[in-house]
Amino acid sequence: MSSARPAPRRALTVLLLLALALLAATVPAATSAAEPGPATPVHDADHWRERVAAARSYALARRGVVTFAVLDGRRLHGYGLDRRAQSQSVAKAMLMVAYLSRPDVAFRDLRESERQLLAPMVRRSDNPTAWRVFGIVGQRGLRRVGDRAGMRRLRTDPIWWATGITAADQARFFMQIDALLPPRHRAYGMRLLETIVPSQRWGIGRVSLPAGWRLYFKGGWGTGTGAFDHQIALLTRGEQRISVAILTTGQGSHAYGNETLRAVAARLLRRL
């Protein structure tokens, strides 16, 4: 008499397995995680899941290694978020914040000699001025900026452009870069990041943005060989804020790396 009863149990088991399979299929390959902070997300999770998936598919088809992060309000999305790469010239944004935050600088007007250090270093990515600023702030200054920004995997180096960074940490940094600048120098520092010289406005600088959005960014590249091509950016419109970090290595050529930066950014920022 008991032999006729297991059928419903088997049916229930089949339904449970189907439900688990469907649940697994909906888990995205890219990463999304909550971040502390007061900002309100610009878009919902579905929006970012679709765009991050498109950017990831594109990145995986490119040469070398491409990692990226986008921080929207309290959600961090991306691919290869914690993989380190040499910073190259994107470290110059950290150098600027470290210098302007020094106690002997933060509460007074800048001297002309200081402006002649900072403006070329940021706006046209001048290396000699970066070495001079690094000689003043040192690795300790960069680590202090990293601590204030909540970076988790920053690795400083006696050579500033060999600083180890991740996409996640740089997105965290740029999301709050204006708040990390001392109030007296905030407008000046942000103006430098907004007025990168035209010859270096590639990658995300070539992405068309809807009216009202402002772009602040810094790029870094490895002597134009495609060994490294990075960009870190903050986009704002009113109270809305989005930070993006794209790190590439082994692109083969600078032009190829620039196109990778532009295409990843375009996929992440589509229908902004």
Asked which of 31-45, 105-119, 177-191, 209-223 is least confident by mean pLDDT, the reply is 31-45
Pick 12 or 86 by higher pLDDT. 86
What pLDDT was estimated at residue 18?
A: 44
pLDDT digits (tens, 9 = 90+) for 75-124: 999 999 999 999 999 999 999 999 999 999 999 999 999 999 999 999 99
**pLDDT range class, residue 9, cuts 50, 70, 90:** low
Q: What is the pLDDT of residues 173-208, one digit of tens each?
A: 999 999 999 999 999 999 999 999 999 999 999 999
Cβ neighbors of 45 (< 8 A, separation 6 or more) are: 32, 75
pLDDT of residue 41: 58
CA 65 to chain centre: 15
Q: Which candidate, 251, 260, 211, 256, places its Cα nearest to that of 231?
A: 260
Min mean pLDDT across 43-47, 206-210, 229-233 is at: 43-47
Neighbour tally for 119: CB within 10 Å: 17
Confidence (pLDDT) at 28 = 40
Residue 223 or 136, more confident: 136
Contact present, 196 and 123 (Cβ < 8 Å): yes
| Cα-to-chain-centroid distance, residue 267 | 14
Instruction: Say what the pTM is.
Output: 0.85
Residue 20 pLDDT greater than 50, yes or no:
no
* Beta carbons within 10 angstroms of residue 209's beta carbon: 14
Q: What is the per-residue pLDDT for 271?
A: 85
Mean pLDDT score across all residues of the chain? 89
6 pLDDT above the threshold of 90: no
**pLDDT over 90 at 3, yes or no:** no
- Fold classified for 30-268: Beta-lactamase (3.40.710)
pLDDT at 57 over 90: yes
Q: Is residue 8 scored above 80 in pLDDT?
A: no
Residue 40 has pLDDT above 60, yes or no: no
- Residue 53: pLDDT over 80: yes
**What six digits make up the tokens of 24?**
């697994």
Taking residue 155's Cβ as centre, other Cβ atoms within 10 Å add up to 17
